[in-house]
């Protein structure tokens, strides 16, 4: 059964090509065009892809052992073609290391399955991108 729980983020312009996104809980995230240290929208998308899977993988594996290293790097090629600007060849590199011993062995054992479950079913962000959900733009 599909969960029907709407998510909302609002965006305000705070300067020339600078914006702040605010979620329903009051959290704020500045971003912009990339002229400074702020993230660009494309970088936020790459972050969301890795972050969504990171949470899934961490929830599953850290029940068995706390990782000694947990890093995910997302890369993509930005292209422009007859379909417009878009990303191709999105790849998430996962670098996780668990301690030696029985608990670390248990975490290492479930890691491949955790990665597969996140990719194939759990991660809302990557599932949305891969399925190709349409986006409606409405001018109020």
For 10-25, how does the pLDDT look when each residue is reduced to its tens digit (9 = 90+)?
999 999 999 999 999 9
Mean model confidence pLDDT for the chain = 96
Q: How far is residue 93's CA from residue 50's CA, in Å, rounded to a whole number?
A: 9
Of 2-6, 38-42, 106-110, 114-118, least confident by mean pLDDT is 2-6
In the prediction, which pLDDT does 2 show? Answer: 60
Quote the radius of gyration of the chain (alpha carbons, Å): 18
Among 32-36, 46-50, 77-81, 134-138, name the one with the lowest average pLDDT: 32-36
| pLDDT score, position 36 | 87
What pLDDT was estimated at residue 46? 98
> Residue 21's CB: how many other CB atoms inside 10 A?
15
User: At the fourth CATH level, which superfamily is domain 40-131?
Assistant: K homology (KH) domain (3.30.300.20)
Contacts of 29 (CB under 8 A, 6+ apart): 20, 21, 22, 23, 39, 44
- Say if residue 4's pLDDT is above 80: no
The pTM assigned to this predicted structure is: 0.91
Q: Count other Cβ atoms within 10 Å, centred on residue 53.
A: 23
Tell whether the model's pLDDT for residue 84 goes beyond 80. yes
CA distance 66 to 63: 8
pLDDT band at 29 (very low <50, low <70, confident <90, very high): very high
Q: Is 92 left (phi over 0), alpha (psi -120 to 50) or beta?
A: beta
């Amino acid at each position: 059964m599909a969960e029907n729980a709407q998510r909302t983020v609002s965006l305000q312009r705070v300067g020339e090509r600078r914006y702040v996104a605010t979620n329903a809980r009051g959290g704020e995230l500045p971003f912009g065009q990339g002229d400074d240290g702020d993230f660009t929208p494309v970088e936020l998308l790459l972050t969301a892809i890795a972050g969504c899977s990171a949470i899934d993988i961490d929830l599953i594996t850290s029940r068995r052992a706390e990782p000694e290293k947990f890093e995910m790097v997302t890369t993509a090629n930005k292209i422009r073609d007859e379909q417009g600007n878009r990303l191709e060849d999105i790849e998430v590199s996962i670098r996780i290391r668990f301690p030696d011993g029985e608990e670390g062995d248990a975490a290492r054992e479930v890691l491949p399955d955790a990665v597969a479950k996140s990719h194939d079913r759990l991660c809302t962000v990557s599932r949305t991108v891969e399925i190709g959900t349409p986006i409606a733009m409405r001018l109020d």
